[in-house]
Amino acid sequence: MNHTLSRRQFLASTAATSAFVTLHPFSVSAATNQAHLRILSTTDLHVHVHPYDYYADKPIDTVGLSRTASIIQEVRDESTNSILVDNGDFLQGNPMGDYIAYERGMAEGDMHPVMQAMNVLGYDCGTLGNHEFNYGVDFMDKVVQGANFPVVCSNFVKTLGSSAGKDETFLKPYTILEREIEDGSGEKHAIKIGLIGFLPPQIMNWDRRHLEGKFNARDILQAAKAWVPEMQEKGADVIIALSHSGISDAGETEGMANAALYLAGVDGIDALVTGHSHLVFPSETYAGIDGIDVGAGTLQGKPATMGGFWGSHMGLIDLMLERSGDEWKVVTSESSTRPIYKREERKKIPLVGDVQAVLDATMADHEATLAYVRRAVGMTEAPLHSYFALVADDPSVQVVSNAQTWYIEQMMKGTEWEGLPILSAAAPFKAGGRGGSEYYTDVEVGPVAIKNVSDLYLYPNTVRAVLINGATVQDWLERSVSIFNQIEAGGQDQVLLNPEMPSYNFDVMDGVTYQIDLTQPPKFNRSGEVINEGANRIVNVMFNNAPIDPEAMFVVATNNYRASGGGSFPGADGSTIIFEGPDTNRDVIVRYIVEKGTINPQADANWSFVAVPDTTVIFETGPAGVRYADKVAGVSIEPAGEGADGFALYRIALN
């Protein structure tokens, strides 16, 4: 197959790695009228070209197209014929993407680092994901123009027609690659490989400000049923769906975001590259679902793959094709993925190195991004620290909560939940514990850099919203305050915190006010099981200065871990989710700070402990917290000596 000069440069840089490659059995066993076609795929790169965590400002072994690239040549050499495709969400998702969009810009003719990397690797086709629209359509279009390969999408349209086949699509809905393919005897034949792209129609909500009134999105299955027959009429021998859409058995409905399982049922589609969910297929994640054969790697009998995210895996589909007359048909297939690292106990061990050609092509933008993340993107008028996040309302949690509320307010516009009150649940992540006495967020008043956001939010979670009633809000909080030991009235220096309870399960709920009665037993244990049915530690829950209505409905902003059942919180088991955000909580915090310019997330003391006369409790925190101890909202704290392992002890009088 023909590739550009840039790919030949890439081949030269990786030639040494392919000396001892074993051919795939399909290539070995192909007969005179048979040929092995291998489809290599990436998905959800999110601008992760270099193996670097820009938020933490340090190298990392688990991400990066430069690492995935190390697999590409070996995988190509294992097959007689191959193509390389990308499945979307390449344009946004880390600070390099923000740097290009917000600072460097994309003038006509400029190259985006993701496209530079893809061109070096010789991609054959790509499609759009939902994140391609985060910076606006004009920006996306300039990036795509730099691709040395077709980028297709069948359901993002300028104008909706009377039917999908009459839509005016923004990009070509599909492409048909006319290539030569080598059969088992070494003879070459013409073949037409069709590739069609799809994205979640929810872009019209997620990026309403860029799209509303200008563009539209068609249901995925409607688009497939219109365009695939046309591809067949134009002679496509094999049709591959590039589906930036997850795998779900939730039922076929119009406008599904995760439509891959049902897309596989469209006649004429031979194979599917899936994504969007940041998962791996085939994998046991999808075991036991009707229509999915994990062992065979198929959806409704069609071979499919999903290659993780951020370059973590290369997706592979192997097709054995058989020629009848002038046509090729799929006779058997295999699906798999190849990771760039493995887990051993609690460690992540890299399996590959970098391809230098990819690093070299994008080094200037990488270095500019490092300068960008180290430079202020906003200011804070309040210190952002977590030294006392487990004993009082806290500024480091407050800024996360404020950003989540700001984001979900935008996302609820135009939905059936617009106008409902929005609460925000957030927990402290860096709060000592097993992390040690220095494991705390600590950003002083003044400039806030992008890399500081990793101090505020450790994990690459994505934003979710759930719909629950007032009674469930109270139970959610009851689960959260399991972190506190029960105390006795009149007792002195009782240990406040249960060390077995992780800080990330101590959710603070903004939008309501409430108190915690420490003399009551916890309702839930560490695992979230009810151990004291009638316990009520949470008292005086107020919304808008009135007792919360148990039947009133609330939208709660949170993250994917919590909303999907992480921590076993009442009202958060996956069934109450009404919004699945395409953005990480980190990205939302950065956008919030950029938009506000200056933030002042002083803790508002919306929660406190019920007074218990003549009673004191003690807790541990980092010794560096001493400079903030006299400024903690709603509670009086005093030093109580040294703790173990470098921690400092503090005392609270509950008067």
Domains of the chain: 34-370 (3.60.21.10), 376-609 (3.90.780.10)
Q: What is the pLDDT of residue 561?
A: 84
> To which H or E segment does residue 226 belong?
helix 220-233
Q: What is the mean pLDDT of residues 366-372?
A: 95
Q: What is the pLDDT of residue 4?
A: 33
Q: What is the mean pLDDT of residues 69-75?
A: 91
pLDDT at 641 over 70: yes
Dist CA 331 CA 35 (whole Å): 10
Average pLDDT, the chain: 92
Strand partners, 152: 127
pLDDT at 53 over 80: yes
SS3 assignment for 7-70: HHHHHHHHHHHHCCCCCCHHHHHCCCCEEEEEEEEECCCCCCCCCEECCCCEECCCCCHHHHHH
pLDDT at 64 over 60: yes
Q: What is the pLDDT of residue 98?
A: 87
pLDDT at 18 over 60: no
Q: What is the pLDDT of residue 439?
A: 83
Strand, coil or helix: what is 323?
A: strand
Q: How many CB atoms lie within 10 A of CB 348?
A: 14
Q: What is the pLDDT of residue 325?
A: 87
Each residue's pLDDT tens digit, 125-179? 999 999 899 889 999 999 999 999 999 999 999 999 999 999 999 999 999 999 9
Q: What is the pLDDT of residue 430?
A: 85
pLDDT at 434 over 80: no
Each residue's pLDDT tens digit, 92-136? 888 899 899 988 999 888 999 999 999 999 999 999 999 899 889
Each residue's pLDDT tens digit, 190-209? 999 999 999 999 888 778 87
Query: Phi/psi class of residue 598: alpha, beta or left (left: φ > 0; alpha: ψ in -120 to 50)?
Result: beta
Q: What is the pLDDT of residue 146?
A: 97
Q: What is the pLDDT of residue 17?
A: 44
Q: Between vectors from CA 333 to CA 250 and to CA 15, what angle results, nearest 5°?
A: 115
CA distances (Å), 241 to each of 237, 270, 271, 332, 481, in order?
13, 8, 6, 17, 48
* CB of 246 closer than 8 Å to CB of 275: yes
Each residue's pLDDT tens digit, 265-299? 999 999 999 999 889 999 999 999 999 999 999 99
Dihedral of CA atoms 172, 178, 183, 185 in degrees, nearest 10, equals: -170
Look up residue 104 and give its DSSP letter: I
Q: What is the mean pLDDT of residues 328-333?
A: 96
pLDDT at 39 over 90: yes
* Amino acid identity at 86: D
* CB of 563 closer than 8 Å to CB of 574: yes
353, two tokens: 């190195």
Strand order in the sheet with 513-516: 546-547, 538-543, 513-516, 607-609
Exposure b/e, 549-563, CB count within 10 A at least 16 = b: eeeeebbbbbbbbbb
Q: Quick one: what percent of the chain has pLDDT higher than 70?
A: 96
Per-residue confidence at 6, pLDDT binned at 50, 70, 90?
very low
Q: Quick one: what percent of the chain has pLDDT higher than 90?
A: 76
pLDDT at 326 over 70: yes
Each residue's pLDDT tens digit, 520-529? 999 999 888 9
Q: What is the mean pLDDT of residues 419-440?
A: 90
* CB of 440 closer than 8 Å to CB of 386: yes
Residue 44: name the closest of 336, 344, 274, 304 by CA: 274
Q: What is the pLDDT of residue 16?
A: 40
Q: What is the mean pLDDT of residues 440-447?
A: 91
509, two tokens: 């709920």
Each residue's pLDDT tens digit, 501-554? 889 899 999 999 999 999 999 999 988 899 999 899 999 999 999 999 999 999
pLDDT at 3 over 90: no
User: Is the pLDDT higher at 325 or at 233?
Assistant: 233
- Cβ contacts of residue 528 below 8 Å, gap of 6+? 479, 567, 568, 569
Dist CA 464 CA 479 (whole Å): 19
440 backbone dihedrals φ, ψ, rounded to 5°: -140, 150
Each residue's pLDDT tens digit, 573-607? 989 999 988 888 988 999 999 999 999 988 888 99
Q: What is the pLDDT of residue 343?
A: 86
Dist CA 330 CA 31 (whole Å): 14
14 backbone dihedrals φ, ψ, rounded to 5°: -120, 10
pLDDT at 400 over 80: yes
